[in-house]
Each structure stands twice: as structure tokens, then as C-alpha cells.
Amino acid sequence: MLPYLELTLLEEIPQALLEKTLQALWIIPTLVLSIFILYLSSLVYFFLLFEPFVFLLNLLCSFMSLFSSF
């Protein structure tokens, strides 16, 4: 009975270690995905924040080019 118990424990330890390693490896793609989503949201926020200024600057430049042609 004792050798069987030792063999069972030796088989379960690598299996448990493998399961814990796979659980820990899921952290990496989750972090990468969350950083990518944060990057995209900051780009969208930056665009929404500064897009009216870019539009106004473009409008100003177009008016300046229009009036400079006269």
C-alpha cells in the first residue's frame, strides 16, 4: 500500500504543478489584452479630446488659404 501511495503522490504533484503553471500563464495574455485595451481607450480619449481643436485649426487654415487667394 505504501509504494502505491508514494507513486500516486508522485503522479499528482506534477499534475498539480502543471495546473498551477497554466493558471499562472493565463495572467500574461490577460495583462497584454488589458494593456492593449487601455492603449486603445487612451487613443480614443485623446482623439475625442483634441479632435475639435484639429477641426478648428483645419477650418482656420482653409479660411486663411481662401482669403489669401484674393
pLDDT by residue for the chain (70 residues), tens digit each? 455 555 565 666 677 777 888 788 888 888 889 999 988 888 887 777 877 888 888 888 888 887 776 5
Q: Enter the C-alpha cell of residue 43.
A: 487613443
pLDDT of residue 20: 83
Q: Enter the C-alpha cell of residue 22.
A: 497554466
Domain ranges (residues) in the chain: 2-68
pLDDT of residue 42: 85
DSSP string, 8-63: HHHHHHHHHHHHHHHHHHTHHHHHHHHHHHHHHHHHHHHHHHHHHHHHHHHHHHHH
